[in-house]
Chains A and B, each alone.
Chain A
Amino acid sequence: MIGVISYLVFFATTASILAIAVLGLNLQWGNTGLFNGGVVAFFGAGAYGTLILGGAAQAGHLGGYGLAYPLALLGGMIAAGLMAWIVGLLTLRLRHDYLAIATFGVAVAFENLMRNAEWLAGGAKGVRGFERPLRSALGDGFIYNLLFFLAVLLILIAVYLFLERLVASPFGRLLRAVREDEEAAASLGKSPARLRLTAFVTGSVILGLAGGLYGTFYAFVSPQDILPTLTFQIWAMLIVGGAGNNRGAIFGAFLIWGAWTASGWALSRFAPVEAQLYTGSLQFVLIGCVIVGMLMWRPQGLLPERLVVSQRGKPPSVQ
């Protein structure tokens, strides 16, 4: 029984960290309509920033600044925010598909830099040597995991409350106005460019926070953690959960991560021995089917956006 609880705590920690990332993306896409295809770059900047700032010195690359944990995490968030600011200045005037591919390129370039620049962050070996906060006091057994989960959960709730207030504020209304009709917003004397940049940077800082927590949880980060798969996973969570709805974003994160892991568990448990070697491929087929089925059945997501202020014009549709 303790095993089940221990696993569930572990699972919920990962899911909560991902949920924070999905919330960050929801601010960008759900509320502002920015198609960020490079989620993983900002997530990665947070993880790398936190571990480099808070870790022990490592031969051959940056590190060993030994900052207190909250400062290291903040540093990771700032790194993500700075990157978002630069990327945003360059790309935010692009729309949809173009923005997505441009930001995707940024993420590929970021992964490439981390993989090759050994002087910066250890290259393909990654960054290690990070001591999890309070580990010496709490050990690293179940108690530690439980407390870490509670800390992550508190941060998740704090981010959720912050975003709920932000979305309900006049600023939030402006963001939706930009999303729905940029020219109308501009005609009211608001600068859509600046609004978009603010939303993009804020969302990316939240993504960086999630990345920092992720790095903390594993006490390790390498280029393998920042492959495009993660961008896809976080987007799938948002789309299935319900873009524009913060509760949907959190729900989607738990649901998709649950389905992702549970399908692997179920296949390993119930698939016959001869089929075991094919379960990896089968699992991807299942994941694909779940996502496609979900979109056919409920395209607005499980918890759709509740439109209060703006009336959404019907998108141009074919057929």
Chain B
Amino acid sequence: MIQNVIDGVLTGSYLSLGAIGLTLVMHILRFANFSHAELLSLGAYAALVCDALVTALAPVLAIKLAPLSLTWALGLAIVLSMVLTGLSAVVIDRLVFRRVRERGAELSMVFASFGMALVIRNIIGLIFGLSPKLYSQEIAFATVLSFDPLILVKPDQVFVLLAALVLMFALHLVLSRTTFGYSLRAVAENPALAQINGVNLARTIVAVWLIGGGLAAVAGIFYGMSHQIIPVMGRDLVLPIFAATIVGGIGSVYGAVLGGFIVGLAGNLALLVLPAGYTPSVPFLLILAVLILRPHGLFGEARA
């Protein structure tokens, strides 16, 4: 039970990171972006390539930061991958979403994102093959925190949780203390009015994609460190991330964080209640329950 709660929180950390980017995009650009989870794959694979490159160029960096399985090289790769993924998100927006946005309705965007998800996922599969990849072949052992009840925690996961919390706090500062944060909120409230007041809309959108893409990359890499990197990881993660976003309420960064943890916990606690075969339904039953009580999610607001 305690173990499941701990696992749930740890799983929740990367879901939260993914959900923050999604909630920003859904709020500012007003569409359910089904390709958001593919940015996680993109980030994970970009880091895989960067890690290999950095290690090849500077073999000294392949030293582990014990007790983590993280190396200096992978640490550097994470930063590179954040930038690359953020830029890819901007490019995808330029090439596809902006054009659809200019002409179509809300739902066109949703389906364009569905199409883009197929394209990105399968191109990754063509380039890297369909089998799983790993940052490190070695298995990082869990540390025993307590024997009775048995509680096990992996150092990597604690790092992931702390890193996620630091990133979330940094984002919180940006959103609440900077002019950029205000302009972002202004655009979300009313794009036309924000523009009249001198907010550069195009630049704000670029920033949203950069932040969303960067966080997605970290989420993808963290997922890859805890589990494995596989072309279909976006497909497997898209629903938990959506669930986190919706439970938290679209547009609320804090809601997304909380939603991620709730979905993580639900997934890990489900087995205590239901046979294993039914566990994939649990996050959705949870969403259903939350939405019946609060139709706009925990922190969301009604919007015309």
Contact = CB atoms under 8 A, between A and B. Distances in A.
14 contacts: A101-B243, A104-B284, A105-B285, A109-B281, A113-B278, A232-B114, A243-B107, A281-B122, A288-B119, A291-B111, A292-B119, A296-B96, A296-B99, A319-B191
The binding surface of chain B is classed by DSSP as: helix
Interface residues of B, number: 56
A284 B277 CA distance: 29
Contact of A108 (B28, B281, B291): B281
A158 interface: no
Given A101-B246, A278-B126, A94 B291 contact: yes
Contact of B119 (A232, A236, A285): A285
A288 B291 contact: no
* Most-contacted residue by chain A among B104, B201, B250, B285 (CB, 10 A): B104
Interface stretch (B142-150, B216-224, B292-300): B292-300
Given A105-B281, A105-B284, A109-B281, A281 B105 contact: no
Interface of A: 35, 90-91, 93-98, 100-102, 104-106, 108-109, 112-113, 115-116, 232, 235-236, 239, 243, 278, 281-282, 284-285, 287-292, 295-296, 299-300, 315-319
B297 A319 contact: no
Contacts of B121: 284
B112 interface: yes
Interface of B: 26, 28-30, 32, 96, 98-108, 111-112, 114-119, 121-123, 125-126, 130, 191, 201-202, 205, 239, 242-243, 246, 250, 275, 277-278, 280-281, 283-285, 287-288, 291-292, 295-297, 304
A285 B103 contact: no
Nearest to A100: B32
B277 A105 contact: no
Interface centre among A113, A115, A235, A281 (most CB of B within 10 A): A281
Contacts of B292: 90-91
Contact of A112 (B191, B205, B278): B278
A243 B105 CA distance: 11
A102 B246 CA distance: 9
B291 A282 contact: no
Given A288-B117, A319-B101, A98 B284 contact: no
Contacts of B275: 116
A94 B108 CA distance: 20
Nearest to B127: A281
